[in-house]
Structure 1
């Protein structure tokens, strides 16, 4: 469920484009107006505003935003202006080829998306960057982590709710044999099952595994694998069981301790606002006994804070 609040009476994209143009004119940018408009428009409206802006001023709105805004606010707003597939493509491309290689971020985006989302974002990736996602993965990742990601982005998984019980029990047994039961780990089996099975199926395997062996499948993954390969498997499993809980955890980690990982905070807030932020907020409150909005409020400031809080919506 989305937390985006759009005004009950919407102004036209043309009117928004004019207001934004006015906000940029003169000395300094009226950042408050920019935040007020863009933080309350959905993906379709944002695309239309960009179209109108281009038509009226022969200029790219994103280019103008890029020169008028700065710092974390600029990064958040520019990421927000994309459609979901374009955004995922941009995040992964930056994570794989930017100044700071962030394989954790690339892994999170890929392993938390559904099969159909991945197909669309692979097309966007190629259209935007003239290179296939698989090519960049091959170049920047390695070993079992690479094998899992390549399988995960190329296999079409079933997205319905039905689960085959016999198959679930069989997978639980096979995973036990490939991991806890043997010396060393048969990574190929983990890659095969985690990349090919649907989310409801994997969630059922996790429950069956616990029933059969008294240990959680998550714990087995943690003790049998390590590094980015472990991260990828856990992301797939956690998103199969409860994606909102997974993202609540990612957000908490980004904000706890000294300093804030703003890249992660921006990525998750911006890319989940129109999908399941309502559920993420509920999970956050449940697990950390604190509203997500309060956590964001104490870790951020200025227009950047205002923008993120507008996206996640009020606490109640």
Structure 2
């Protein structure tokens, strides 16, 4: 799979979700002529009637922007004295329940809940930590941190400090601070310097200076890192991803590779995640749901384009052949169409 990531020139020009304005590249958009009370009435009818009308729930929750859905939730509670998310949980089951509940919640609250689940209990689900913290912008990280504190009464940083350690822990904490440089100017000389520093910290020496990789990949701006990745290939003859895979191992390797992929193309990173959640026997529905919901309003159009490029099949077809029933219908609605 990583040979797909070797085509750097193509990726360095790919759309970066870090620069897209919300709503521009998503499939879930604000509804024109939005009417809160009409939506609340329709949801009540679907939930309170005999047998839940899943089609109505899916239709409304996949065709309203996040802020519209928050307005619906508020009005729903004022009208019924009940909480919409709880009613959705009570009326649906399994993967469909997860999908509808996550669609109804603000994105930052979903991120906070996923992270909380990843670090609660015995052992830490590093895959979720990596996926969320490597792909979110500073603004998204600030919002999810606020939601996390509200949810758990602890700060995300406090909680992470007790859960992650070593070099992986250092990198995760840096990302969780949401302190990535945001300047858009790229200084080619500085990018060359960083590329050289990475080469000298890894390929060029015996043993690896992980701290150099962490500092550069977790702090520099996305445009700067794109340039650094191109410079790295000029200096070492190898892609940075290949060097990381050779020089570093375990969770830190996985995290740094995820950052490099998101720098080059966040949509391609998520296209690969979606593909892996569906390939082979059985479907990883939790990952499938999380990615579809979290990217639906942001960059699903770009994810679809990358998916088609990488796998020669449309995301829509892949979902159709992999999942069925109302859950499948909901995912196809978020996907938004055939390519």
- Corresponding residue for residue 39 of structure 1: 62
| Alignment RMSD | 1.5
> Aligned with 1:131: secondary structure?
coil
Residues 121-175 of structure 1: CA distance to partner in whole angstroms, max 9, x if unpaired?
1111111211111222222222211110111222522223211111111111111
Q: 2:112 aligns with which of 83, 86, 89?
A: 89
Q: Which residue of 2 aligns with 1:262?
A: 285
- CA deviations 1:264-294 (Å, max 9, x no partner) are 1011100001001100000000110000011
State yes or no: 1:3 paired with 2:27. Answer: yes
CA-CA distance at 1:304 after TM superposition? 0.4
| Contact 2:46–2:52 under 8 Å retained in 1 | yes
**Structure 1 residues 244-253 or 86-95, which shifts more?**
86-95
The aligned residue for residue 164 of structure 1 is 187
Q: Is the 8 A contact 2:137 2:178 kept in 1?
A: no
Aligned to 2:96: 73
- Hey, what's the Cα distance between the residues in 2 that align with 1:115 and 1:196? 11
State the alpha-carbon separation in 2 of the partners of residues 17 and 243 from structure 1: 35
In the other structure, the counterpart of 1:206 is 229
Q: Structure 1 residues 296 and 43, CA, compared in 2 at 3 Å: closer, same or farther?
A: same
Task: Measure, in 1, the Cα distance between the counterparts of 2:81 and 2:75.
Answer: 9
Q: Is the 8 A contact 2:141 2:178 kept in 1?
A: no
Q: Which residue, out of 256, 270, 275, partners 1:247? A: 270
Structure 1 runs, 4 residues or longer, greater than 6 Å off = none
- Match for residue 211 of structure 2 among 188, 207, 214: 188
Q: Provide the C-alpha distance between the structure 2 equivalents of 1:7 and 1:82, rounded to a whole number of angstroms.
A: 17
- 1:137–1:60 CA distance, 2 compared to 1 (3 A): same
What SS does the aligned partner of 2:208 have? coil
Q: Which runs of structure 2 are paired with 1:36-185 in the superposition (5 Å)? A: 36-97=59-120, 101-154=124-177, 156-185=179-208
Q: Give yes or no for the alignment of 1:218 onto 2:234.
A: no
Query: Would you say the 8 A contact 1:116–1:156 is kept in 2?
Result: no
Give the length in aligned residue pairs. Answer: 315
Q: CA deviation at 1:5?
A: 5.2
Determine the C-alpha separation between the residues in 2 that align with 1:139 and 1:31: 41
Stretches of structure 2 lacking an aligned partner (at least 5 in a row): 1-24
TM-score normalised to the size of structure 1?
A: 0.96
Post-superposition Cα deviations, 1:70-109, rounded to whole Å, max 9, x if no partner, equal: 1001111111112222221111111221688421012110
Are the equivalent residues in 1 in contact too, given 2:134–2:258 (CA < 8 A)?
Answer: yes
Kept in 2: contact 1:200–1:241 (CA 8 A)? no
Tell me how far 1:306 sits from its aligned partner: 0.7
Q: Is residue 36 of structure 2 the alignment partner of residue 13 of structure 1?
A: yes
Change (3 A) 1:98 1:69: farther
TM value normalised by structure 2: 0.89
Work out whether 1:27 is the aligned partner of 2:50: yes
